[in-house]
C-alpha cells in the first residue's frame, strides 16, 4: 500500500472517530448537560410512565436524568432511520453533495447547542444533538466507498471504518475533558465544530465528486471533488486515463435504476438483515443493563451490600469504557480474517461466511459467560462484548459492500440500519419490566432509555 493510500485511510479513521459517533458517547455528554442544569421539557408522556415505574414523584434529579436520556433516545433513533434516507441520497447524488448536507447539519447542530440556555431554550439541545447524529451517520455512509480503492484489502478497510465508528463515542470524552478543564459550556461546542474542518478538507481535496466504483475500471484515476469543481464540469462522471494519449478523458457512467427489487428480495440480503438485527439486539440488550446487572451479580456472588456492589460495578463499567476505545483495532481483526480466508480460498463468499461465523461464535461466547455469577467472569463478558459489537457492525458493512452492487450500497446499508432497530422496543420493555418487578428499583436510573 502506498503512502498516499495509508494517509487516506488514516484521515478516514480520524474523521470517523471525531465526527461520526459523538452521540454514542452519551454517558459523557449527559454530564455536561446535567451540570449546566438543562432539563428537557415537552416529553411529559414519557415522564408519566417513568414515574409509574420508578415511583419517583418529587424526585427532580431522577426526572431530570430521565428527560435528558430521552434526548439520547431521539438522537440514536434518528441515526438509525437517517441511514436509509441519506443512504438513498448518497446513491443518487454522490459523495460531494451528500457530505455537504452532512457538514451543514453538523454546523447547525453545533450552533443550536452553543445557543442553548438552561430553562429557556432547552429544546435546542434536542435539535442540536439530533442534527449532529444525522450528520455523523451521513458522513459514515460516504466513508465506506474508500475500500473500493484497495481491492485486496477491502475487508480490512471496511472494518477499520466501522471500528472507528465504534470507538468514536470517545470523542464525547474529549469534549467532556474540555468542559472539565475549562468550565466553559460554549467552548465545548466550539471544539466540536472545529472537528468538522477535517470533513470539509476531505470533501474538497480527498474524496471524489461521485462514488468510487467497484470493481475499478481499467485506467481509473481517483479525482478529488475540488478538481472537478474548479474545471467547471457539470456532469457527474468518473475519469479514466487513456494509456495511448496519456490524457484524462471524461467517461459518462451508465444510469442505474434507483433500486433493484432483485437485490432487495434476494435471500442473501434477507438473511443478512436477520443476522444483523439479532446480533445488534444481543449487543444493545447487554449494554442497556450492563451496570445494573453487574451490580446484581456482584451483590449475590460476594455477599455485598447494594451500595458496595454498585460502586464496584461502576468501576468495572469505567474500565469497560476504556476497552471500547480500542474498537477500531478490534474491528480490523475481523476484516483481516475475512481477507485472509478470501485470499487462501479464492472465494469472497467463503471469507464472508468465516467472518459471520466468527461474529456469531463471539456473541454466543459472551452471552454464555454473562450467565456465570462471578465478578471476574463479568470482566471477560465486557471484553467479549466489545469484540462482538465491533465484529457485528464490521461484517454487516463488509457483506453489503462485497456482495451487492456499489450503486445500491447506501440504500441497503440504510435498510439494514433501520431493520436493526426493530427489536429495540423489546430492550426498553425488558428494562422497564425488571424495574417494575423490583429487581432494579433501588438502583440509579442513569441508563434509562439508552
Where residue 56 sits, what CATH number does that domain have? 1.20.1250.20
Which pLDDT value is given to residue 235?
38
**Is there a domain that residue 242 lies in?**
no
Q: Which domain holds residue 358?
A: 3-218+257-436
At 262 the pLDDT is 74
**In this structure, is residue 119 part of a structural domain?**
yes
pLDDT at residue 234, rounded to an integer: 39
Identify whether 69 is part of a domain.
yes
Between CA 92 and CA 98 the distance in angstroms is: 9
**pLDDT at site 427:** 59
pLDDT, position 386 = 84
239 part of a folded domain: no
Backbone angles phi, psi at 219, to 5 degrees: 85, 10
Nearest to 444 by CA among 340, 258, 314: 314
| 448 and 431 Cβ atoms separated by less than 8 Å | yes
Which residues share a beta bridge with 252?
A: 237
In a domain, 233, yes or no: no
* pLDDT at 92 (0 to 100): 86
405 with 263: CB under 8 angstroms?
yes
* pLDDT at residue number 2: 64
> Is residue 125 within 8 Å of 113, Cβ to Cβ?
yes
pLDDT by 10-residue block (mean), the chain, 450 residues: 75 90 81 76 39 45 56 76 86 91 95 88 86 92 86 79 80 88 92 93 89 78 72 43 42 47 80 88 75 79 79 75 76 83 86 90 89 84 86 86 81 82 64 53 43
Given this model, what pLDDT does residue 66 score? Answer: 55
Q: Which residue has the cell 478490534?
A: 330
pLDDT at position 444 is 47
Residue 449 pLDDT: 37
Q: What is the pLDDT of residue 242?
A: 42
How far apart (Å, rounded) are the C-alpha atoms in residues 292 and 314? 9
Q: For the purposes of burial, counting CB atoms within 10 Å of the CB of 200, is it exposed (0-12), middle (13-18) or buried (19 or more)?
A: middle
Report the pLDDT value the prediction gives residue 230, as an integer from 0 to 100.
61
Is 109 domain-assigned? yes
pLDDT at 63: 52
How far apart, in whole angstroms, are the C-alpha atoms of residue 335 and residue 155? 4
pLDDT at 65: 53
**pLDDT number for residue 9:** 87
DSSP codes of every residue in 68-120: HHHHHHHHHHHHHHHHHHHHHHHHHHHHHHHHHHHHHHHHHHHHHHHH--TTT
Q: Name the grid cell of 167.
A: 470507538
Residue with cell 439479532: 278
Number of Cβ within a 10 Å radius of residue 111: 16
Rg (CA), the chain: 23
pLDDT score for 46: 39
How many structural domains is the chain composed of? 1
The model's pTM: 0.74
Is residue 270 domain-resident? yes
For residue 230, being part of any structural domain is answered with no
Amino acid at each position: 500500500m502506498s503512502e498516499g493510500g495509508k494517509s487516506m485511510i488514516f484521515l478516514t479513521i480520524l474523521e470517523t472517530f471525531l465526527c461520526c459517533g459523538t452521540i454514542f458517547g452519551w454517558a459523557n455528554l449527559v454530564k455536561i448537560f446535567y451540570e449546566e442544569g438543562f432539563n428537557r421539557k415537552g416529553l411529559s408522556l414519557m415522564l408519566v410512565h417513568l414515574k409509574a415505574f420508578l415511583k419517583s414523584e418529587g424526585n427532580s434529579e431522577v426526572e431530570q436524568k430521565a428527560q435528558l436520556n430521552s434526548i439520547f433516545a431521539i438522537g440514536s433513533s434518528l441515526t438509525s432511520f437517517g441511514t436509509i434516507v441519506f443512504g438513498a441520497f448518497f446513491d443518487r447524488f454522490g459523495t460531494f453533495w451528500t457530505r455537504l448536507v452532512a457538514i451543514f447539519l453538523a454546523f447547525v447542530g453545533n450552533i443550536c447547542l452553543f445557543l442553548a440556555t438552561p430553562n429557556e431554550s432547552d429544546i435546542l439541545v434536542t435539535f442540536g444533538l439530533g442534527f449532529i447524529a444525522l450528520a455523523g451517520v451521513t458522513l459514515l455512509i460516504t466513508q465506506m466507498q474508500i475500500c473500493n480503492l484497495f481491492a485486496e484489502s477491502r475487508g480490512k478497510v471496511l472494518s477499520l471504518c466501522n471500528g472507528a465508528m465504534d470507538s468514536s463515542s470517545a470523542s464525547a470524552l474529549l469534549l467532556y475533558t474540555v468542559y472539565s478543564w475549562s468550565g466553559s459550556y460554549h467552548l465545548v461546542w466550539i471544539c466540536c465544530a472545529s472537528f468538522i474542518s477535517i470533513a470539509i478538507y476531505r470533501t474538497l481535496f480527498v474524496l471524489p465528486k461521485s462514488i468510487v466504483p467497484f470493481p475499478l475500471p481499467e485506467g481509473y484515476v481517483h479525482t478529488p471533488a475540488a478538481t472537478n469543481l474548479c474545471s467547471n464540469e457539470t456532469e457527474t462522471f468518473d475519469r479514466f486515463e487513456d494509456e495511448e494519449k496519456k490524457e484524462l478523458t471524461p467517461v459518462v457512467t451508465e444510469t442505474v435504476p434507483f433500486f433493484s427489487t432483485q437485490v432487495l428480495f434476494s435471500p442473501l440480503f434477507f438473511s443478512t438483515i436477520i443476522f444483523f438485527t439479532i446480533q445488534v439486539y444481543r449487543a444493545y440488550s447487554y449494554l442497556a443493563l450492563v451496570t445494573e446487572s453487574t451490580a446484581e451479580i456482584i451483590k449475590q456472588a460476594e455477599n455485598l451490600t447494594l451500595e458496595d456492589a454498585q460502586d464496584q460495578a461502576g468501576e468495572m463499567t469505567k474500565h469497560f469504557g476504556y476497552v471500547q476505545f480500542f474498537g477500531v483495532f478490534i474491528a480490523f481483526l475481523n476484516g483481516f480474517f475475512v481477507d485472509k480466508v478470501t485470499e487462501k480460498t479464492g472465494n469472497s463468499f467463503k471469507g464472508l461466511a468465516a467472518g459471520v461465523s466468527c461474529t456469531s461464535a463471539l456473541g454466543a461466547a459472551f452471552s454464555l459467560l454473562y450467565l456465570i455469577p462471578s465478578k471476574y467472569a463479568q470482566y471477560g463478558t465486557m471484553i467479549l462484548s466489545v469484540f462482538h459489537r465491533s465484529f457485528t457492525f464490521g461484517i454487516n458493512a463488509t457483506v453489503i459492500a462485497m456482495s451487492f452492487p456499489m450503486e445500491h450500497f447506501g440504500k441497503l446499508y440504510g435498510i439494514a440500519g433501520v431493520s436493526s432497530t426493530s427489536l429495540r422496543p423489546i430492550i426498553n420493555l425488558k428494562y422497564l419490566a425488571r424495574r417494575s418487578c423490583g429487581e432494579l428499583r433501588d438502583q440509579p436510573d442513569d441508563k434509562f432509555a439508552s
